[in-house]
Amino acid sequence: MPIPAAVRRRGRVLPALLMSWLVGWAGGVAPAQAPEGPAAVVLPADSPRWDLQGKAQVVEHQGRKALLLNGGAAVVKDLVLRDGIVDVDVSTPAARGFFGIQFRLADDGATGEFVYLRPHHSGSPDALQYTPVLHTGLNWQLYNGPGFTGAVDIPKDTWFHLRLVVAGATAKLYVKDMDHPALVMDDLKSGVQKGELALYVLTGETYFSNFQVRPTPDAAWERHLPPMAKGTLTRWSLSPSYDALDRNLERAPSPAEQQAIPWQEVDAEPPGLVVVYRYRAAPHPRVSFQSDFSKRLEPQPGMRVVYARTLLNADRDQVQRLCLGYSDDVCVFLNGQILYRGRSAQGFRNPGFLGIVNPENDTLYLPLKKGPNELLLALSELGGGWGFHARLETVAE
């Protein structure tokens, strides 16, 4: 899901989640009442507090003055929000689209949180998606399942209500039904505790009205981390990122080359992910095969690669099973020798393939020698999240 070129600011890409808050108390369906608390900030669609970016304008739609976004964002000016309740009405005639709310945006929109709806997946398990935005990169391939995706029926071409409730390290999104959340985000991942707020549409004509945000008292910051499975490889060294097309990815860097690399020590986060966007800027290449499957073997300009290495200490010569999930392209080396190359990018294995990451994606068998063994990954990115999840298991003899 690329970031539209139209959505840019001061020469830099705003993370596919420019935040902007809209509304207008125009006639039609009245918004659901938010709980009592501090005074709400109510913004009509034509309020001067909207910072409209990309394809964004004020229009009349279905009897209301509304914000129309289609590859654009509406950011609320002069608002920094930690915890609060956001209410807005939405209507979209689009057959396909991605629209939602960005919150706690920091670093000019480069980092924050994003929850969005996919009307073309209405009723499906991934009709809703939450992802952190890190260094302008979305991470929906890495973060998925409970707490990240959810099913809901998304009305077409009629007004319906959204409510986002943000409290500490958690958030809830309500869609139509204000009594039961459609998605509970029980562990927000960006690490940003306060920031800007915006409405954002990647693609697909979408209208917003009746917008308000009500700040609420700060809730306790309580993380709900998933467990780390036995055998998960957690300690890694990460290289800078390089142009993947300038390197022979099927050759491991020599010992002298590795010695010259300024390695950064990183720890996998539960349940075992190494999320590269936390440490390296997102590249945003234009991937040709996502629109033309016949081009999937062509070089992809803009693809970047990082090397990640760790040491495996074996008490004897043995074979160990490596369970590996990755995004999007990997070469696996053991003691300098290549064992495997794979690509798990969106649209690569078949046109509908999403490239969702989990450690059961692929299995390799590592012939370990007694003593230290160097495991090295050359990991390249094409979009949707840059990272891997590796777990070692004993092979029965």
Q: Where are the alpha helices (DSSP H) in the chain?
A: 255-260
The pLDDT score that the predictor gives to residue 36 is 53
- Look up the domain containing 367 and give its range: 235-394
Q: Are residues 210 and 239 in the same domain?
A: no
Radius of gyration (C-alpha) of the chain in whole angstroms: 22
Check which CATH number belongs to the domain holding 184 and give it: 2.60.120.560
Model pLDDT, residue 104:
98
Q: How far apart are CA 234 and CA 265, in angstroms?
A: 11
pLDDT in the model for residue 24 = 25
- Does 67 fall in a domain? yes
373, 302: one domain = yes
Query: Sign of the CA dihedral 341, 344, 345, 349?
Result: positive
**Among candidates 330, 321, 325, 345, which has minimal Cα distance to 394?**
321
Structure tokens at 261: 């690399």
Residue 372 domain-assigned (yes or no)? yes
Res 356: pLDDT: 96
Q: Is 42 exposed, middle or buried (0-12, 13-18, 19+ CB in 10 A)?
A: middle
Last residue of a domain, one of 181, 215, 249: 215
Give the pLDDT score at 282.
95
Where on the phi/psi map is residue 231: left (φ > 0), alpha (ψ -120 to 50), or beta? Answer: left
Same domain? 88 vs 204: yes
Overall number of domains in the chain: 2
In a domain, 245, yes or no: yes
**∠ CA 385-281-328, rounded to 5°:** 30
- The owner of tokens 């190494």 is 274
pLDDT at residue number 11: 31
Whole-angstrom distance, CA of residue 199 vs CA of residue 71: 11
Residue with tokens 């930690």: 82
Residue 305 domain-assigned?
yes
Tell me, what's the pLDDT at 330? 98
| Model pLDDT for residues 79-130, shown as the tens digit of each residue | 999 999 999 999 999 999 999 999 999 999 999 999 999 999 999 999 999 9
Residues 192, 258: one domain?
Answer: no
pLDDT of residue 290: 82
What is the structure's pLDDT at 25? 24
Ranges of residues in the chain whose predicted pLDDT is under 50: 1-34
Q: Does a structural domain hold residue 228?
A: no
Name beta bridge partners: 61. 64
Residue 299's nearest CA partner among 265, 343, 263 is 343
CB 300 within 8 A of CB 232: no
pLDDT for residue 266: 98
We report the CATH number of the domain holding residue 298 as: 2.60.120
- For residue 9, the model assigns a pLDDT of 42
Q: CB neighbours of 140 closer than 8 A, spacing ≥ 6? A: 1, 129, 131, 148, 384, 385
183 and 240 in a common domain: no
Residue closest to 157 by CA, chosen among 86, 88, 61: 61
**Are 288 and 376 in a shared domain?**
yes
Residue 126: asked if its preceding bond is cis (omega within 30°), the reply is no
What does the pLDDT read at residue 37?
A: 57
3-state secondary structure of 277: helix
Q: Is residue 200 domain-shared with residue 118, that is, in the same domain?
A: yes
Residues 177 and 112 in one domain: yes
